[in-house]
Homo-oligomer: A and B are copies of this chain.
Amino acid sequence: MQRATSEKRLLTLDHSSGLARTGVLNLPHGPVRTPVFMPVGTQGSVKTIRGADLLEYGFELVLANTYHLYLRPGVRAIESVGGLHDFMGWPRGVLTDSGGFQIWSLARLRKSSDEGYSFQSHVDGSSHLLTPEKVVELQRAFGSDIAMVLDECLEQPSSRERTERSLDRTLGWARRSKAMGPSSGQALFGIVQGGTFPDLRKRAAKELCEMGFDGYAMGGLSVGEERYSTVRAVASSIEVLPETSPRYLMGVGKPDDLVDYVSMGVDMFDCVVPTRNARGGSFFVPGGHVNITNARFALDPRPVQDGCDCYACRNHSRAYLRHLFLAGEWLGPILATLHNLRYYARLMESIRKAIDRDAYHEFRQCWHETRESFDSETY
Contacts and interface: CB of A to CB of B under 8 A. Distances in A.
Contacts of A301: 80-82, 86
A51 B338 CA distance: 14
A326 B301 CA distance: 38
A268 to B, nearest CB: 24
A26 B331 CA distance: 29
A77 B331 contact: no
A298 B73 contact: yes
This chain: how many copies in the complex?
Answer: 2
A76 B299 contact: yes
A324 interface: yes
Contacts of A45: 324, 327, 329-331
Contact of A320 (B68, B87, B335): B87
Contact of A331 (B49, B81, B323, B335): B49
Contacts of A322: 73
A65 to B, nearest CB: 11
Contact of A44 (B44, B50, B323, B333): B323
Interface string A27-61: 00000000000000001110111111000000000
Interface string A62-85: 000000100011001100111000
Interface of A: 43-45, 47-52, 68, 72-73, 76-77, 80-82, 86-89, 298-301, 311, 315-317, 319-320, 322-324, 326-327, 329-331, 333-335
27 contacts: A44-B320, A44-B324, A45-B324, A45-B327, A45-B330, A47-B330, A47-B331, A48-B334, A50-B331, A50-B334, A51-B315, A52-B315, A68-B327, A72-B323, A72-B326, A73-B322, A73-B327, A76-B299, A77-B299, A80-B299, A80-B300, A80-B301, A81-B319, A87-B323, A89-B315, A89-B317, A330-B333
